[in-house]
Chains A and B, each alone.
Chain A
């Protein structure tokens, strides 16, 4: 991937990620998250991973965030915008995250593999690069059981939602 494009999209993604946290308006936060997801998809495209990029946009930007936005607008959260920053909490949060970052950097520096430059990845030639077929084959041959379990989990969640919402109606 071109370093220029990588830098651009990585910067945008992080900037909009920060904007999700900093914005007091929930709709602005949700939209920043959408832009952040789109930049992540752009990074995937830079790695020639079109399938995962499309799935990222379809599932997260196109479905999950639309539902988020939908709920936020229906609830019309005004209280969130009026609330002021709690200075103590902001300071504490910053302290904790800085300490965590320092720890991660410290550990990575001592870890022998962390000091090695990452080997350059080689893509297979174009004919064999059919990521959708590869994903499908491994999903339905090697990882069939986890797939089935995830399916059952989602079914359980769906039924749970129906049960809970029916009870509220009475």
Chain B
């Protein structure tokens, strides 16, 4: 029974605890409130009110009124979830049943890539990242690459014209933009010299954010010159994240006026909700990647990390667990700010044509990303001694 005792139970327990914390206490509530934010922000942009009535259902507990906190309508996600679960789950005839069921399960796959993302410095001496491996950047791209299957299978298994076209469009779009996404990040990795996300964030905390080199080694000619390629990287990466998550202006796979609603046309009830949640989870993953690579991860200038290093001397006196929690809050605050930008763009820009999307991905972004790598290499070679 040697192999049972050799299992590192403590490590597994900690990882499970962190995964439960991240998924059920942070990301899933964040997903549902992103949906709510999407509705409120779009309403504000279109000069409407949006969902502002649903409170928390305290009437179930015997109170006279539902509870309203600050803004009205914060109970809306609960009502949405209940609605999705109670709706009829209709499976159309002629679908390929097994794959029809498999596709929505795979749609939640983006959650796995959050395992690699450092969402905080440390809390009670424990690093706030679930899988801190030395190639975590590649790990995230591996999971995103496999995520395409959900959409391909949904389109194919529905055995119907519009979902199929949506699935095909989505696959070619995701393959095209995955390339420029991967290429655009290489300059950052070259300058940081590591593929471990926790190290990338730590470097940024010590020497200035990738896009804000204002302290440590960041105050050198090299890092100021490198701002040019990093800016280009940031723009390409952000555009690719929009395309990878199938958000407007790249929502070809489900352009309503042409394809009904694309690959999930035939889905109803909770199966549809899983695609929906998957899309918003992918948005959160994309924003976290932008935060980790370009905006300093959990770091905020002046705030020490969870072990009490760096930052202002007064704040270092605080209990370390408070600093750890503040770091986690900073990370998710930055992610939330980016999510609002995502929503803002969706309700501002019109949709591209499909050939324009393909042309942008293959002819412009990919080539610019390649040239950007050479530019970065030249800057690093000429400015370092």
Contact = CB atoms under 8 A, between A and B. Distances in A.
Interface stretch (B132-140, B323-331, B339-347): B132-140
A31 B146 CA distance: 11
Nearest to A25: B96
A10 interface: no
Given A2-B7, A58-B138, A66-B171, A50 B146 contact: no
A55 interface: yes
Contacts of A74: 168
A19 interface: no
A4 to B, nearest CB: 5
A137 interface: no
A145 interface: no
Contacts of B172: 70
Nearest to A66: B148
Interface centre among B133, B134, B144 (most CB of A within 10 A): B134
Interface in B235-264: none
A62 B138 contact: no
Nearest to B2: A3
Given A73-B156, A74-B168, A130-B134, A66 B142 contact: no
Contacts of B3: 2-4
Contacts of A27: 99, 156
Interface in B123-165: 133-135, 138-139, 141-146, 148-149, 152-153, 156, 164
Contacts of B153: 31
B384 interface: no
Contacts of A131: 134-135
Contact of B142 (A4, A58, A69): A58
B101 to A, nearest CB: 13
B356 interface: no
Contact of A4 (B4, B134, B164, B171): B4
Contacts of A31: 149, 153
A51 interface: yes
A57 B146 contact: yes
A61 B149 CA distance: 10
B152 A69 contact: yes
B138 A66 contact: no
A142 to B, nearest CB: 21
> A interface, how many residues as a size bin?
20 to 34
A4 B153 CA distance: 32
A54 B140 CA distance: 9
A75 to B, nearest CB: 12
Contact of A54 (B4, B7, B139): B139
Interface string A42-73: 00000000110011011001110011011001
A51 B171 contact: no
A87 to B, nearest CB: 28
Contacts of A4: 3-4, 7
Interface string A2-39: 11100000000000000000000001000100100010
Interface string B1-42: 001101100000000000000000000000000000000000
B127 to A, nearest CB: 14
B156 A58 contact: no
B138 A55 contact: yes
Interface of B: 3-4, 6-7, 99, 133-135, 138-139, 141-146, 148-149, 152-153, 156, 164, 167-168, 171-172, 175, 178, 195
Given A51-B134, A57-B145, 7 more contacts: A34-B146, A50-B133, A57-B143, A61-B145, A62-B148, A70-B171, A73-B164
21 contacts: A2-B3, A2-B6, A4-B3, A27-B99, A27-B156, A34-B149, A41-B142, A50-B139, A51-B134, A54-B138, A54-B141, A57-B146, A58-B142, A61-B146, A62-B145, A63-B145, A66-B152, A70-B168, A73-B164, A73-B167, A131-B134
**6 tightest CB-CB pairs across the interface, nearest first?**
A62-B145, A54-B138, A57-B142, A50-B133, A3-B3, A58-B142
